Amino acid sequence: MYNKTSTRQSRNKNNWRKRGHNSPRGKGRKFSGEKIDINRFINKAEIKEKTAVFTPRYTFGDLEIQDILKQSIVKRGFTAPTPIQDESIPFILEGRDVIGLANTGTGKTAAFLIPMINKILKNPQEKLLIVVPTRELAIQIQEEFLALCKKINIFSVVIVGGVNIKGQIRQLNSRHNVIIGTPGRLKDLISQKKINLSQVKNVVLDEADRMLDMGFINDVKEILSKVNKNRQTMLFSATFSPEIKKLSNQFLNNPQQISIKSRETSSQIDQDIIRINTHTDKVDTLHNLLIQTDFEKVLIFTRTKYGADKLSKKLFQKGFKSEAIHGNKSHNKRQRALKMFKEKLIDILIATDVASRGLDIPNVSHVINYDIPATYDDYIHRIGRTGRANQRGTALTFVSTK
């Protein structure tokens, strides 16, 4: 990763203040993340000689879905349903509302896409709305949709902020069955009467807890109020807070609740802390970690957008290849940085919590919390970017000892 010659290099402001983040003007309440018991950041990965193998109740070939979709699933490389897919797909195929509680990286995107694509194949008039908290997650779902519909004549539109709205309006005027979007931009286009949800009878709320955390609850409620009342609704979330329960009671009809949560953090992640005192230079400490050979692909989290940019510049000056992503970056710049990180054109990606949920970034060797997260839930989702797909991962958190 390191080369001495440098060849390897709110929407709701009040909600952000409540969560301890800096306000847009930098005048929010003092960050309170360090109130989390630091012992919760220490947890050795479990080494098991024998791992229990999940046995699904059916194969994808057993499902009552169209043959062309079965062929697409095979070409996608899916061999057997994951637990969340095994539990939820049959209920969604039956037309039931579903609440799916599952950690990230469990295959929940395909859990709702497969039955929804099948529903559209059976009735080309069906419309699906997928609401997500971030641009990155919208793009990721779009990529999965395109992979499953490679030879299926079904089309989607991505509606997110940070992108030219005129281009999105043009896409909305073209043929499509699926809209994937973030609440703010969806609400804007609904108010402009560019999106009519009265004919939409299928809705997915993905990462619902994150949308609530980001202050989108009122936007989500307003969007759902405009969807056809005779609808099928699927809500997926990592947690089931009182707010999520209230939302589901208001908008879901007799939902089937499915929980595939085993433990708070993956057993495949080594978790530890790096103690920083008043005489310690955090950047130097980080440098000494990053030059170690096993730090192959590193995701570093900072608390603020400014902090992400500042750290990226400092690491670049020390000879590392790094990029920063956060809410102030344009959509194209964020996507380019993610692509470079996924393809190992850069070794280090520095991010605010915009990247902590929903993203599937393969082979991240280390997650480093350069700044302590605002909540323990944020910590769980940050470190969930490593230790995926049965691989070992490491999570390190910088803590102050002053």
pLDDT single digits (tens) 306-335: 999 999 999 999 999 999 998 788 878 888
Q: Are residues 35 and 133 in the same domain?
A: no
Does residue 215 sit in the same domain as residue 279?
Answer: no
Structure token pair of residue 258 = 């499915």
Residues 6+ apart with CB under 8 A from 104: 238, 357, 358, 381, 384
367 vs 363: CA distance, rounded Å: 11
Question: Angle 206-328-320 (CA atoms, 0-180°, nearest 5)?
Answer: 100
What's the pLDDT at 334? 84
First to last CA, the chain: 31
Please report, in tens digits, the pLDDT of each residue of the chain (402 residues total): 544 334 333 434 334 333 333 333 333 334 444 478 888 888 877 655 444 678 999 999 999 999 999 999 999 999 999 999 999 999 999 999 999 998 767 889 999 999 999 999 999 999 999 999 988 899 999 999 999 999 899 999 999 998 899 999 999 999 999 999 999 999 999 999 999 999 999 999 999 988 987 889 999 999 999 999 999 999 998 888 888 999 999 999 999 999 986 555 567 889 999 999 877 789 999 999 999 999 999 999 999 999 999 999 999 999 999 999 987 888 788 889 988 998 989 999 999 987 666 567 888 999 999 999 988 878 888 888 888 766 789 999 999 876
Q: Name 222's Cβ contacts closer than 8 Å, sequence gap at least 6.
A: 187
156, 142 contact by CB (below 8 A) = yes
Query: In this structure, what are the phi and psi dihedrals at residue 341, rounded to the nearest 5 degrees?
Result: -70, -45
Please give the Cα distance from 267 to 32 (Å, whole number). Answer: 27
| Domain interval for residue 147 | 60-260
Place of tokens 């190992």: 344
Contacts of 130 (CB under 8 A, 6+ apart): 112, 138, 141, 178, 179, 180, 181, 203, 204, 206
Regarding whether 37 and 172 lie in a shared domain, the answer is no
Strand (E) or helix (H) holding 58: none
Q: How many domains does the chain have?
A: 2
3 inside domain:
no
Place of tokens 């395909």: 110
> Of 260, 295, 324, which marks where a domain is finished?
260
166 in the same domain as 99: yes
Decide if 104 is inside a domain.
yes
The angle formed by the CA atoms of residues 233, 235 and 238, to the nearest 5 degrees, is: 175
User: Is residue 55 in a domain?
Assistant: no
CATH of the domain at 200: 3.40.50.300
For the range 3-9, what are the long-range contacts, defined as Cβ-Cβ under 8 Å and sequence gap of 24 or more?
3/319, 4/319, 5/319, 6/319, 8/319, 8/320, 8/321, 8/347, 9/316, 9/319, 9/320, 9/321, 9/322, 9/346
- Residue 2, domain member (yes or no): no
Q: What is the pLDDT of residues 69-78, one digit of tens each?
A: 999 999 999 9
The answer to whether 27 touches 18, Cβ cutoff 8 Å, is: no
Backbone φ and ψ for 171, nearest 5 degrees, come out as -65, -35
205: CB partners within 8 A, 6+ apart: 131, 211, 220, 233, 234, 235, 236, 237, 247
- Of 260, 289, 316, the one marking the end of a domain is 260
Residue 111's identity, in one-letter code, is: A
Contact 216, 233 (CB under 8 A): no
pLDDT at 364: 93
Q: Please give the pLDDT value at position 354.
A: 72
Residues 286, 208: one domain? no
Q: Please tell me the predicted confidence (pLDDT) of residue 146.
A: 97
Residue 355's pLDDT is what?
A: 61
What is the per-residue pLDDT for 44? Answer: 77
Q: Do both 203 and 113 map to the same domain? A: yes
Asked if 255 and 224 count as a contact pair (C-beta separation under 8 A), the reply is: no
Indicate whether 41 belongs to any domain. yes
DSSP class of 359 = -
> Pairing state of beta strands 256-260 and 348-351?
unpaired
Asked, for residue 1, whether it belongs to a domain, the answer is no
Q: Please count the helices (runs of H) and the strands (runs of E) in the chain.
A: 14, 13
Q: Is 154 inside any structural domain?
A: yes
Residue 5 lies in a domain: no
Looking at the fold, whether 97 and 220 belong to one and the same domain comes out as yes
Are 71 and 137 within one domain? yes
Residues 65, 194 within the same domain: yes
Are 321 and 197 part of one and the same domain? no
Domain finish residue from 210, 244, 260:
260
Do 228 and 144 sit in the same domain of this protein? Answer: yes
Q: Kindly state whether residues 181 and 245 are assigned to the same domain.
A: yes
